[in-house]
Structure 1
Amino acid sequence: MKKGRLGLLLAVLLAASAVLSGCGKDSGDKKHVVIGEVTRSLFYAPQYVAIEKGFFDEEGLDIELTTTPGGDKTMTALLSGSIDVALVGSETSIYVHQQGADDPVINFAQLTQTDGTFLVAREKIDSFDWTELKGSVFLGQRKGGMPQMAGEFAMKKNGINPATDLEMIQNIDFANIAAAFSSGTGDYVQLFEPTASIFEKEGRGYVAASFGVESGHLPYTVFMAKQSYIDKNSEYIQAFTNAVYKAQKWVAEHNAEEIADVVIPYFENVDRDRLISSIDRYKSQGSFADNPVVDTEEWDNLLDVMTEAGELADRAEHGELVNTSFAEAAIAESGK
C-alpha cells in the first residue's frame, strides 16, 4: 500500500486497537452512539435532519456528533474507539482492509451517492471548458482521499491529465484548503458546500463545474463501524439505519427551503439563502442517496475510480466490506 493515506498511526492502531464496543455511556434507556463526521457540510444534510427531526431518538438512540476533519483522522478515531460510527468515504474502509485488519470496517448505510465537491475558479467564467485547467495551479485535496480521486477522475474524463497538464498542490491540510485559496493560493480549488456558495457571495471564487456530476454514482459518504462493534450492537445498528432512512425519505419529500430551516443550527455562520442554494445544488444533482443501500454497481464504480488513481492494491469486493442487511431491513420495515 502506498504511504501517506492514513499514516503510520493507522497501522499502529490496527495492531493495537482491541475490540471497543462503545465509547460513551448509555443515557437512561437509550443507546449512546458517537458519530464522527469527516467534515461539517450541507452534503450531509440528511444526517442533521435525522438528529433534528428526532428520528434517532424515535429509534432509541442518543446521538453525539463530532467533526473529525479529514478521512485519515476520522478513521483513526474509529479504530481507536473514540467514536462508534464514522461518516466518511468508503475508500477509507478499503485502505484499512489493505493493511490486513483483523477487525474490518464495514459500510452499512450510505448517505451520499455522488462526489460533493465543486470546481471553484478564482475568476468568474461564463462558459467553462475543462481545457482552461491546462497550465493552471490547482489546489487539490488529500492524496488518496475520495474528493481528490473523484476530481482526478473527472479531469481525465474531460481530457485533462492532472499529472502533466497543471500544477497540483496537495500539501495543505483539509481544514485549511478554503483559507489557503482565499489567501491567494491556486487558480482553482475543490470545495464542498456551503463553502463554495459562500465564496461566490463574497466574490472570492465562482463555481465552474460539479465533480459530482462528472464522476457518477459512488458510495461517497457512508456510515461505517468496526465489525466487532456491529456484532455486539446489531440491534442498535439496525435502529441507526432505520433513522437514516427516515431522514432520507424526509429530505426527498421536502424542498431546499424546508431542509435549510431544519439544519440551520449546524451552520450558524451561514445565511439562510446560502444554505438553500447549497442544498438545492446537491438535490438537483442527486447527491443525497434515496436509501441507505450501498449497491454493487456503485461499489464497483468506486473501485474503478481508485484503480484509475493508482490507489488500489487489490479489489475489495462488495461482500467483503459492505453489509446491506440493515439497509434492506430498514426499507422493508417502512413498506417502501
Structure 2
Amino acid sequence: MRKLVKPTLLLLAVLLLAMTAACGKSSKSDELTTVKFSEVIRSIFYAPHYVAMSQGFFKEQGLNVDMNTAQGSDKGAAALIAGTADISMVGPETTIYIYNQKGDKTLKVFHQLTAKDGSFLLSREKLDNFTWSDLSGKTVIGWRPGSSPQMVLNSLLLKEQVTDANVITNIASPAMAGAFTSGQGDFIQVFEPVASTLVNAGKAYYVASLGEDFGAYPETSYVATSDYIQSHADIIKKFTAAVAEGAKWLNAASDEEIVAALKPFFDGTTDELILQSVNRYKAQDTWPTDPVLTQEQFDILQNVLVENGVLKAEEKVTKMDDVVDMSFAKQLGKSD
C-alpha cells in the first residue's frame, strides 16, 4: 500500500500544480489594459462611446476605460500633453492649435465620432416660424470662445447677417442651464439631454438645431499624442473598434435597449428624455457609419477656424496627415 500511496500523492500534486498554472494563465489573459480617457463634456451627443462601455465592447477588446469629464476641449487637450490622459474626446481643432505651437508634442485625430454640431437653440418665449434674424438684439447664453459650438453659432450668425446678437461666452458649461432658468438670456445653446430637460420642464422652447442648419462639421474626435499612437498602436486599434461597434449597436438596438445602455451615465434623466435625445441626434445623422475624417471635412473645419478669427489663413495645416491618422479607422471591417 505504501508503494501505491506515494505515486498517488505525486500524481495529485502534479495535477494540482497543472491546475494552478492553468488558472494563472487564464487570470493573466483576462487582465484588462487601462486607458486613461477624458471626455469633453457629458452628453448624449457621445452616445456611441457610452454604449461601448455599457455593452462591454471595450472589455471585449481587452480595455478598461477609466473615464473623467474635462469640461472643455482645451482641458482635454491639456490632459494629453500633461500625460494625465491617454486618449481624449475633443474638438479636432485642438490638434491644429497644438501643432501651430510647435511644442515638443503634437496631437492627432484617429477616429471621427460626430459629423454635425450637437447643440440646439432654445428660447425663453415661444416663437412661431423662427428665423435666425430673431436673435437680432437678443442675448444668447453660448459656449466658451474658440469652442466648436461657439464657432458654429458665430458662423451661422455671419451667414444670416445677424451682427447685433449678444452671445455670452463666459459661463462655465455646467452652469449654463442654471443661469438661463434663473432669468439670464433670451436664448440658450445647449446639448442633449439638457435641451430636452429644459423643454420638457417648461423652462424653454425648442427653436433650432445648429447641426441641421449649419450642415456637415467634424465637431468631436478621439485624439491622442503622436507618441502615444505610435507606441500603443494596438490600443488605438482596439479602442477604435470598440467605439465603432457602439455606433453600429446604437443604430440597430430597440428603444428599451438604448435606454438601459445609456441610463448609468445620465443619472436622474428619465427614460423618455434619453430616448428623445438619441432620436433627435439620429434624425440629423450625427453619428457617421464610417468614422474617417475626410479632407473635405478637414477643410470645412479650418475654414470655420479662420472665419472665427482663431486661426490665420497662413496658419492652416496644409498636410492633414500632420494632425490626423485615419489608418485605424480605415482598417475597420477589413480582415487582418
- For 1:278 and 1:256, the matched residues in 2 are separated by 12
SS of 1:69's equivalent in the other structure is coil
Number of aligned residues:
306
Contact 1:146 1:220 in 2 (8 A): yes
**Alignment partner for residue 60 of structure 2, among 52, 58, 61?**
58
Contact 1:27 1:62 in 2 (8 A): no
SS of 1:154's equivalent in the other structure is helix
Tell me what 1:9 maps to.
Answer: none
Tell me what 2:8 maps to.
Answer: none
Tell me what 2:244 maps to.
Answer: 245
State the AA in 2 paired with 1:242. A
Q: TM-score, normalised by structure 1?
A: 0.87
- For 2:333 and 2:186, the matched residues in 1 are separated by 45
Contact 1:260 1:279 in 2 (8 A): no
CA gap 1:236/1:272 in 2 versus in 1, 3 angstroms: same
- For 1:263 and 1:240, the matched residues in 2 are separated by 19
Contact 1:245 1:331 in 2 (8 A): no
Tell me what 1:316 maps to.
Answer: 317
Contact 1:252 1:290 in 2 (8 A): no
Deviation, structure 1 residue 294: 1.1
- For 2:335 and 2:149, the matched residues in 1 are separated by 34
Verify: 1:260 aligned to 2:259, yes or no.
Answer: yes
The structure having more radius of gyration, on CA atoms, is 2
- For 1:125 and 1:35, the matched residues in 2 are separated by 41
Tell me what 2:20 maps to.
Answer: none
- For 2:170 and 2:50, the matched residues in 1 are separated by 31
Deviation, structure 1 residue 253: 2.2
- For 2:311 and 2:257, the matched residues in 1 are separated by 40
Tell me what 2:150 maps to.
Answer: 148
Tell me what 1:46 maps to.
Answer: 48
- For 1:213 and 1:266, the matched residues in 2 are separated by 26
Deviation, structure 1 residue 257: 4.7
Tell me what 2:173 maps to.
Answer: 174
Tell me what 1:123 maps to.
Answer: 125
Flag structure 1 segments of 5+ consecutive residues without an equivalent: 1-25
- For 2:266 and 2:221, the matched residues in 1 are separated by 21
SS of 1:268's equivalent in the other structure is coil
- For 2:245 and 2:263, the matched residues in 1 are separated by 19
Tell me what 2:78 maps to.
Answer: 76
Matches within 5 A, 1:101-140: 101-140=103-142
State the AA in 2 paired with 1:69. Q
- For 1:92 and 1:261, the matched residues in 2 are separated by 33
SS of 2:334's equivalent in the other structure is helix
Contact 1:242 1:330 in 2 (8 A): yes
SS of 1:270's equivalent in the other structure is coil
SS of 2:36's equivalent in the other structure is strand
Please list the CA deviations of residues 304-336 of structure 1 after superposition, one character each: whole Å capped at 9, or x if unmatched.
Answer: 1111111113112422111010001123249xx
- For 2:45 and 2:335, the matched residues in 1 are separated by 26
Deviation, structure 1 residue 27: 10
- For 1:180 and 1:238, the matched residues in 2 are separated by 41
Between 1:54-63 and 1:171-180, the stretch displaced more is 171-180
State the AA in 2 paired with 1:209. A
Please list the CA deviations of residues 65-110 of structure 1 after superposition, one character each: whole Å capped at 9, or x if unmatched.
Answer: 1111112221221211111100011111211112113321100011
Contact 2:92 2:109 in 1 (8 A): yes
Between 1:213-222 and 1:82-91, the stretch displaced more is 213-222
Taking only aligned residues, the RMSD between alpha carbons, in angstroms, comes to 1.7
State the AA in 2 paired with 1:191. V
Tell me what 1:286 maps to.
Answer: 285
Tell me what 1:303 maps to.
Answer: 302
- For 2:175 and 2:29, the matched residues in 1 are separated by 36
CA gap 1:117/1:27 in 2 versus in 1, 3 angstroms: farther
Contact 1:42 1:278 in 2 (8 A): yes
Contact 1:111 1:289 in 2 (8 A): yes
- For 2:335 and 2:260, the matched residues in 1 are separated by 28
Tell me what 2:32 maps to.
Answer: 30
- For 2:64 and 2:279, the matched residues in 1 are separated by 29
Between 1:93-102 and 1:39-48, the stretch displaced more is 93-102
SS of 2:189's equivalent in the other structure is strand
Tell me what 1:208 maps to.
Answer: 207
- For 1:269 and 1:257, the matched residues in 2 are separated by 17
Flag structure 2 segments of 5+ consecutive residues without an equivalent: 1-27
Contact 2:81 2:105 in 1 (8 A): no
SS of 1:112's equivalent in the other structure is coil
- For 1:252 and 1:156, the matched residues in 2 are separated by 35
CA gap 1:333/1:69 in 2 versus in 1, 3 angstroms: farther
- For 1:323 and 1:331, the matched residues in 2 are separated by 17
Matches within 5 A, 1:212-227: 212-227=211-226
